[in-house]
């Protein structure tokens, strides 16, 4: 149940998605990854990708136009 963070602030998509994809493959089941993003497009496609992969996803808007996506690796 380790927790990892991924800083993608200032990165335009698709960079956050690709970084998340790469990082998630390193994690083991039950680990949590927190991705910080400020690109509205990534706010849509990162959670969408993670949900389709079957992970648990939670989005939190920490500031105006800045989000934290919490992904729990489910499989």
Q: Which residues are catalytic?
A: 13
Q: Is 28 in the site for other proteins (CB under 8 A)?
A: no
SS3 label, residue 37: strand
* Sole binder of other proteins in the list 8, 19, 38, 73 (CB under 8 A): 38
Letters for 41-60 (x = contact with other proteins by CB under 8 A, - = none) are x-xxx--xx--xx--xxx-x
Q: Phi, psi at residue 22, to the nearest 5°?
A: -70, -45
* Least distance from other proteins to the Cβ atom of residue 6, Å: 14
Distance from C-alpha of 12 to C-alpha of 2, rounded to nearest angstrom: 27
List phi, psi (to 5°) of 48: -65, -45
Which of 7, 22, 26, 62 touches other proteins by CB under 8 A?
62
Q: Give the SS3 label for residue 60.
A: strand
CA dihedral 10, 12, 15, 19 (to 10 degrees): 40
Q: Contact residues for other proteins (CB under 8 A)?
A: 1-3, 10, 12-15, 17-18, 21, 32, 38-41, 43-45, 48-49, 52-53, 56-58, 60, 62-65, 68, 70, 72
């Amino acid at each position: 149940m380790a927790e990892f963070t991924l800083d993608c602030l200032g990165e335009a998509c698709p960079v956050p998605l690709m970084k998340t994809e790469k990082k998630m493959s390193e994690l083991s089941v039950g680990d949590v990854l927190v991705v910080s993003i400020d690109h509205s497009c990534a706010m849509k496609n990162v959670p969408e990708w993670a949900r389709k992969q079957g992970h648990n996803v939670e989005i939190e808007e920490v500031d105006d136009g800045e989000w934290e996506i919490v992904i729990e690796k489910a499989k």
